[in-house]
């Protein structure tokens, strides 16, 4: 049976890239699939997280999912550390994945930078935990932003090698769902860098907690060029900042890029940014408002996460038993 799994790290500063690349697409999938949406707190701690803030950040991520359209009555919404199977299966996958595969991960290279010897071991094996997240539920479809494509290819490689090594079709081969007009949202200050939670300057991103004035100010100060908007998308080649703003507009207005350019061709960025601010505020303020409302009631969020963890654990149990049995680990299926 098809099953959707996706997640985001509760590392603070949920932003427009997370929203357009991921959360915004999650709600629709609930009509056609069984969906699990997970707040991946074990992934977040691969880099230092302030213990006094991690719980609040976890609730904030859950609130962002719901505000963007995840329905806790229809989807399973939970935080990763509550279901022990994620960590268990990731260990088994550490024994399936090859060091050479992990050495090719561009996200690790970017995050570690020159500091390769000093980052946590967890950061290095981040992708095997991600594979475990999905395959613990035999997930088949994974809606993510473009930057996760390589991690999903690794997930496919792990499933394939596991099935091959043990001679059984235990795991499905996952299919990435990378949709929308803004699958890779860039920094507002530098069109060659991805919009990111960890970028020190807040002016580079729109946070999902920003109010209307802040959104307006950030877009007005966003870097662009002096040319007017082109008639067709190829006129945005070599204009990374301009392309980014057009993609953001298209995604927020739910229009194809061609139609946005049809509307604004020949106009300058001053006019375009005014329209962009209007669309962004109109689209995001209900999301922001709903997030704030939900975060004002942590007990309700905790109850939602409790129930989600219970349902997720029930789905994970038979899969983990099957995996242990396949590997030959004694006592698969016995509890306690």
Min. distance of Cβ 323 from ligand TYM in angstroms?
Answer: 17
Residues 303-322 touching ligand TYM, rule: CB under 6 A, are: none
Active site residue 194: yes
User: Is 31 annotated as belonging to a binding site?
Assistant: no
Is 28 annotated in the active site? no
Contact string (CB under 6 A) for ligand TYM, positions 180-219, x = contact? ---xxx--------xx------------------------
Q: Please report how the helices 126-135 and 149-166 are oriented relative to each other, as an axis angle in degrees rounded to 10.
A: 70
Among 3, 24, 43, 141, binds ligand TYM (CB under 6 A): 43
What is d(CA 65, CA 43) in angstroms, rounded to the nearest whole number? 17
Would strands 141-143 and 175-177 be described as parallel, antiparallel, or unpaired? parallel
Contact call for residues 142 and 95 (beta carbons, < 8 A) = no
- The single residue of 114, 138, 161, 197 carrying the catalytic annotation is 197
Number of residues that bind ligand TYM (CB under 6 A): 25
Which span (2-10, 68-76, 294-302, 312-320) binds ligand TYM, by CB under 6 A?
2-10
User: 240 CB contacts (<8 Å, ≥6 apart)?
Assistant: 186, 191, 192
**Beta carbons within 8 Å of 296's beta carbon, 6+ residues apart:** none
The verdict on whether 193 is a catalytic residue reads no
Q: Are 21 and 180 in contact (CB under 8 A)?
A: yes
Told to check if 177 binds ligand TYM by CB under 6 A, we report no
Q: Which helix (H) or strand (E) holds 171?
A: none
> What are the two backbone dihedrals, phi and then psi, of residue 47, each rounded to the nearest 5 degrees?
-120, 160
Which one from 28, 114, 118, 194 is the annotated catalytic residue?
194
Binding track over 129-148 against ligand TYM, x by CB under 6 A: -x--xx-------x-xx-xx
Q: At CA 94, angle to CA 88 and CA 100, rounded to 5?
A: 165
Which of 154, 173, 142, 156 is closest to 21 using CA atoms? 142
Q: How far apart are CA 278 and CA 260, in angstroms?
A: 14
**Options 4, 22, 96, 287; binder of ligand TYM; rule CB under 6 A:** 22
Can you tell me which residue has the tokens 């375009």? 272
Q: Is 86 in the site for ligand TYM (CB under 6 A)?
A: no
Of the listed pieces 7-15, 63-71, 264-272, 305-313, which binds ligand TYM according to CB under 6 A?
Answer: 7-15
- 266 annotated as a binding-site residue: no
Is 146 flagged in the annotation as binding? yes
Contacting positions for ligand TYM (CB under 6 A): 5-9, 17-18, 21-22, 40, 43, 130, 133-134, 142, 144-145, 147-148, 151, 183-185, 194-195
**Residues that are catalytic:** 111, 194, 197
């Amino acid at each position: 049976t098809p099953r959707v799994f996706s997640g985001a790290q509760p590392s603070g500063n949920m932003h427009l890239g997370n929203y357009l690349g991921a959360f915004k697409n999650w709600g629709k999938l609930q009509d056609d699939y069984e969906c699990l949406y997970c707040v991946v707190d074990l992934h977040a701690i691969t880099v230092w997280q302030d213990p006094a803030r991690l719980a609040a950040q976890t609730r904030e991520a859950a609130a962002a999912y719901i505000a963007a359209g995840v329905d806790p009555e229809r989807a399973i919404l939970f935080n990763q550390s509550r279901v022990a199977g994620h960590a268990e299966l990731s260990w088994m996958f550490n024994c399936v994945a090859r060091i050479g595969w992990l050495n090719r991960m561009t996200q690790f290279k970017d995050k570690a930078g020159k500091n390769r010897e000093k980052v946590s071991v967890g950061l290095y094996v981040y992708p095997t935990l991600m594979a475990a997240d999905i395959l613990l539920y035999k997930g088949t479809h994974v809606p993510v932003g473009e930057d996760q494509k390589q991690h999903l290819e690794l997930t496919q490689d792990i499933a394939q090698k596991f099935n091959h090594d043990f001679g059984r079709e235990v795991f499905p081969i996952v299919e990435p769902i990378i949709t929308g007009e803004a699958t890779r949202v860039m920094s507002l200050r530098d069109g060659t860098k991805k919009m990111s939670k960890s970028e020190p300057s807040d002016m580079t991103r729109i946070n999902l907690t920003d109010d209307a004035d802040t959104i307006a100010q950030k877009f007005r100060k966003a870097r662009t060029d002096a040319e007017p908007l082109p008639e067709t998308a190829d006129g945005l080649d070599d204009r990374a900042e301009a392309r980014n703003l057009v993609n953001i507009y298209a995604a927020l207005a739910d229009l194809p890029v061609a139609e946005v350019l049809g509307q604004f061709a020949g106009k300058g960025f001053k006019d375009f940014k005014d329209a962009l601010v209007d669309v962004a505020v109109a689209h995001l303020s209900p999301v922001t408002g709903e997030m704030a409302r939900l975060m004002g009631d942590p007990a309700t969020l905790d109850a939602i996460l409790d129930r989600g963890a219970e349902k997720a654990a029930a789905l994970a149990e038979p899969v983990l038993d099957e995996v242990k049995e396949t590997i030959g680990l004694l006592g698969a299926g016995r509890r306690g």
